[in-house]
Chains A and B, each alone.
Chain A
Amino acid sequence: MIQVQNVTKIYPVAHGRRLVLDDASIDLPGDRNIGLLGVNGAGKSTLLRLIAGTELPTHGRVLREGAVSWPIGFTGSFNGSSTGRANVKFIARIYGRDIDRAIEFVEDFSELGPYFDQPVKTYSSGMRARLAFGVSMAIDFNTYLVDEVTAVGDARFAEKCAAEFRARSAHANIIMVSHSAATLREYCQSAALIAFGKIFYFADVEDGLRAYDDVLRFS
């Protein structure tokens, strides 16, 4: 369960302030996968970062239950000049996991072959995404925050990730940002829509998608 309580998020911009979330509150249950919906710039990625704790709310607070991942996306936060292996080592270390087991898992899951021992800057974006997903799977979080899972690249690997998530659904859930209704339908049972600075929760993902269409028509 993730509880967003009276969260306001304001970004200072070149001329003034931009209000992204305005005293928004929502409870996101931990027993289902939730898709985050909203028009471009509505604050989907911002909410993901707030939930992760990468950013702090301007006002209000976010309560987390269980281990929550960093926002897993394709941009990645790897050290480009270090190898995939060295990056996995570092991440396993900061999260206090067994390094050898983490490496073994990622080596197998990410299918990078000899590239695992090459600097990450030589990777294609698909390879980076595979490494990012592999590492986050090796840490075994309770809640995975995923930004645009479709970027993982080829369909086969996307299916592998989906299968891995399904296998873990008993003790792990996903909060996901995606622009693709098909992806959201595939992964998520429920949805949260960010609009007008507020967050609305829909137990059924279809209701969320319908409400999102209404918002799109509005704006």
Chain B
Amino acid sequence: MLDFYREFILDHYRHPRNKGELPDADISHEEHNPVCGDRIHMDIKLENDHIADIKWHGEGCTISQASASILSEMVKGKSVEEVRHLSKEELLEQLGMETLTPARIKCALLSLKVLKAGLYGLTSWPDEEDEWN
């Protein structure tokens, strides 16, 4: 069995945290992964430039959904500026998925893409900001 299908990940997949919608969200954003069709929608409520509340919903593989669940826990209560500096490496480390292959890394980073695109309009994938790498 691959090491990333651990109980920690499966638990977030089966019992996703912060799943749902925020009708009075300040920021509402959705992105897809065209490669496999994964979809994640995020609603964010801001207070004093901090993420007061975050809800997400979507569908996709274990990695993409668990990643959204874990990311929502990581950023809740954080300032927008802190989230701007949240790197893909930090998220992957939190997921315990530092060794994902290029195709699956998109699954893990879709949630971060949605979050950053919604918050400050990032248009590229978090792993493609340096296009020559």
Partners in one complex: no
